Structure 1
């Protein structure tokens, strides 16, 4: 009887992370077909770990597997993205509230350093990386399992549209984003949970509402 090679799960996870990075970086935009044989050849891998990696990414919403048609980078309609942002508006303040009591002075120092880097850059890709780090630093003090997993999925599956939107609106929105970040960090330092959650909700809602004015992002 054949046995699964003990390194197969590790290889699958490694390949899944590589594909995920390519999707989140924009190298593989929504609607791109992922050809298993080509990917296996590129990575000098058998097809099995590639297939398992795609299944892992399907479970996170980043990849869509179509019977007899292969794998594709998942795409969203404006309605899909709107619903995802509405979920974020409700779930992220809850995640923030769970993490907030465990934030330390070191967290606040790192948040302010990240915000300084955000204000110093005009590069959209760098901003997206720093913005993600800033928000997830406010959440990471408390790993709430399913809640953290759900929020991470919402961030990942909307990444492409956040990137396209930011390219279109970065200059006009920069001062608003910076102001809201400062308000959020200050509320966290003041241990003002209600204000921190309100700022975060407004921050997410603003992007959702402005996305509706840019339907071309979803073309």
Structure 2
């Protein structure tokens, strides 16, 4: 029984910590103390250790022997490289997905974009934006490609949040215009156009972040960019 329960408990803990990291409650560089986490979740140290290993595999946590665990922090070069990889891999995933999307999928994409255009909260936008993009990839078979891209999304999420604050409400129209162009190409089945729009969409974030090295400073609070 313990062999069955432990992996389930570890995954539950890993999902909890991942959620906190993506929500910004545990920013990059935050120390994760196993005893504190075990006490918070009412768990033993064994599944906590395994959960941290799961998160290490996903790139969200850095473990160092005899030192402990931290939320992974990227420097500017690491983040830029992650975005360059996304620029090359995500259009491929989109191409593999598009032929399998149906009218109901297209309608759901349009509905999500309507929600994005109506929302004013950055955290809500980040959730909806992720939902939109991954819905465009839903037609592709699960593969190592999806796993790689998912890891890149997770490890760059903090910096994507910073970009969203940097963009501000007055520049949100650019994001929405790119989304609409992407959805039109997906609906038309135009893979060349869809790939080009997606590449441009990802690249713009990368270029914008390049202009703001302060985002990569230890302890940087993305929400401080609001206003």
TM over 0.5: yes
Pairing of 1:1-219 with structure 2 (within 5 A): 4-219=2-217
Structure 2-normalised TM-score? 0.93
Deviation at 1:216, TM superposition (A): 1.1
User: 1:181-209: per-residue Cα shift (whole Å, max 9, x none)?
Assistant: 00000001111000000000000001100
User: 1:33-72: per-residue Cα shift (whole Å, max 9, x none)?
Assistant: 0000111111111100000000000000000001111100
Separation (CA, whole Å) in 1 of partners of 2:200 and 2:107: 24
- The 8 Å contact of residues 9 and 49 in structure 1, kept in 2 or not, is answered as yes
User: 1:84-138: per-residue Cα shift (whole Å, max 9, x none)?
Assistant: 0000000000000000000010111111111111111111001000000000000
User: 1:137-182: per-residue Cα shift (whole Å, max 9, x none)?
Assistant: 0001112410000000000000001111211222243111111100
Deviation at 1:4, TM superposition (A): 4.5
Segments of structure 1 that go 5 or more residues without pairing to the other structure are none
Q: Which stretch shows the higher mean deviation, 64-73 or 140-149?
A: 140-149
For 2:222, the equivalent position in structure 1 comes to none
Cα-Cα RMSD: 1.0
Separation (CA, whole Å) in 2 of partners of 1:95 and 1:5: 36
Separation (CA, whole Å) in 1 of partners of 2:206 and 2:170: 16
Separation (CA, whole Å) in 1 of partners of 2:38 and 2:175: 41
- The 8 Å contact of residues 124 and 170 in structure 1, kept in 2 or not, is answered as no
Separation (CA, whole Å) in 2 of partners of 1:172 and 1:93: 28
Separation (CA, whole Å) in 1 of partners of 2:110 and 2:168: 20
